[in-house]
Amino acid sequence: MPENPKKNQDGLIIAGFILAFVASVVFWAMGQRNLAMQPIDEENSNTPETAIEDSQPNNPSLYIEPITIEQQKNPSFSSSGKSLQQIISTAQTWQPVYRHLFGKEAPDFALADLNGRQHRLSDYRGKQVLLIFWATWCPPCRAEIPDLIKLRNRFSEDELVILAASDERPAVLKDFVSKNRINYTVLLDDGKLPLPFGFQRAYRAVGVPCSFIIDPQGNLKIGIVGITPFSDMLDLLGVAN
């Protein structure tokens, strides 16, 4: 019995639609991947750019350079006398980033917390500041929270300022903070922070959680990507365990 020409034609049309759909999805995914790998023009876009400097491609290896001789010999990172190199050599869940900025003045910024209070980095001169870029949906960020809570309990606000910035909706953050009993300050990242700060910038350039320690003089002491255990953080803050 001869096949129905109309049925064959309908089958070809359906197959064509399926192939076109699959192709469009593939091309869209490739386009998104390329977009994520390219710097965004901050002046012509509302989305934070992915590169740290216009002259540098978005490549994390650029921000994980070998440390200098001066940094290797610097014992000021730990009251136990450990040098930066010694602390880094034993790290298992984190690594230093943005080393070309170590020792340089951290750019000032102001962000609101979940209660609407403004926090300006320069207001905390004279204190060490731990600045973290994180997200509620990020497993490593979540894994780090208990140690951050422990760190907040260990030090007074006069000794250490802990600021954790996320670009998520305030309602989401408030709910998460309440459920997880977070006792340190959570800030609302507005996407306009200066280099090298910013959640989207860190997420696309090196990953999150991304943390910065700013010394009492307002200089960037170290940048870190990954989960920083409590004992390692004490060493980086220069405090004995």
* CATH number, domain with residue 179: 3.40.30.10
**Residues 131 and 26 occupy one common structural domain:** no
Query: Residue 239's pLDDT is what?
Result: 82
* Total domains in the fold of the chain: 2
* Residues above pLDDT 70, as percent of the chain: 66
**Angular region, 165: left φ>0, alpha ψ -120 to 50, beta rest:** beta
**pLDDT higher than threshold 60 for residue 90:** yes
What is the token pair recorded at 170? 């305030």
Query: Residue 84's pLDDT is what?
Result: 83
For residue 24, give its domain range: 5-38
Alpha helices in the chain (DSSP H): 5-37, 69-73, 84-89, 139-154, 170-180, 199-205, 230-236
**Residues 128 and 185 occupy one common structural domain:** yes
**Residues 126 and 30 occupy one common structural domain:** no
Cβ neighbors of 203 (< 8 A, separation 6 or more) are: 133, 135, 210
Query: Residue 182's pLDDT is what?
Result: 98
Does residue 58 lie within any of the structural domains?
A: no
Q: Summarize the confidence of residues 173-186 as an average pLDDT.
A: 98
**pLDDT higher than threshold 80 for residue 206:** yes
**Residues 33 and 89 occupy one common structural domain:** no
Query: Residue 209's pLDDT is what?
Result: 98
**pLDDT higher than threshold 90 for residue 38:** no
**Residues 110 and 13 occupy one common structural domain:** no
Q: Measure the CA–CA gap between 128 and 207, rounded to whole angstroms.
A: 23
Query: Where residue 200 falls among pLDDT bands split at 50, 70, 90?
Result: very high
- Give SS3 for 32: helix
144 neighbors 240 (Cβ within 8 angstroms): no
What is the token pair recorded at 219? 């200089």
**Residues 146 and 201 occupy one common structural domain:** yes
Residue with tokens 């869209």: 28
Does residue 62 lie within any of the structural domains?
A: no
**Residues 89 and 175 occupy one common structural domain:** yes
**pLDDT higher than threshold 80 for residue 170:** yes
**Residues 132 and 26 occupy one common structural domain:** no
236 neighbors 222 (Cβ within 8 angstroms): yes
Q: Summarize the confidence of residues 145-150 as an average pLDDT.
A: 98
Does residue 152 lie within any of the structural domains?
A: yes
Task: Please give the radius of gyration of the chain, using alpha carbons only, rounded to the nearest integer.
Answer: 23
Query: Residue 28's pLDDT is what?
Result: 46
Q: Measure the CA–CA gap between 95 and 65, rounded to whole angstroms.
A: 11
Does residue 50 lie within any of the structural domains?
A: no
From the list 170, 173, 174, 165, the residue with the least C-alpha distance to 196 is 165
Query: Residue 134's pLDDT is what?
Result: 98
Does residue 112 lie within any of the structural domains?
A: yes
Query: Where residue 44 falls among pLDDT bands split at 50, 70, 90?
Result: very low
Does residue 137 lie within any of the structural domains?
A: yes
Q: What angle do CA 50, 54, 58 make, to 5 degrees?
A: 40
**pLDDT higher than threshold 70 for residue 67:** no
Does residue 46 lie within any of the structural domains?
A: no
Q: Cβ–Cβ contacts within 10 Å for residue 114, how many?
A: 16
Does residue 45 lie within any of the structural domains?
A: no
**Residues 126 and 219 occupy one common structural domain:** yes
Q: Which comes out higher in pLDDT, residue 81 or 48?
A: 81
**Residues 31 and 77 occupy one common structural domain:** no
Residue with tokens 């309440």: 178
Query: Residue 3's pLDDT is what?
Result: 53
CA 54, 55, 58, 62 torsion: positive or negative? negative
**Residues 78 and 24 occupy one common structural domain:** no
**Residues 29 and 77 occupy one common structural domain:** no
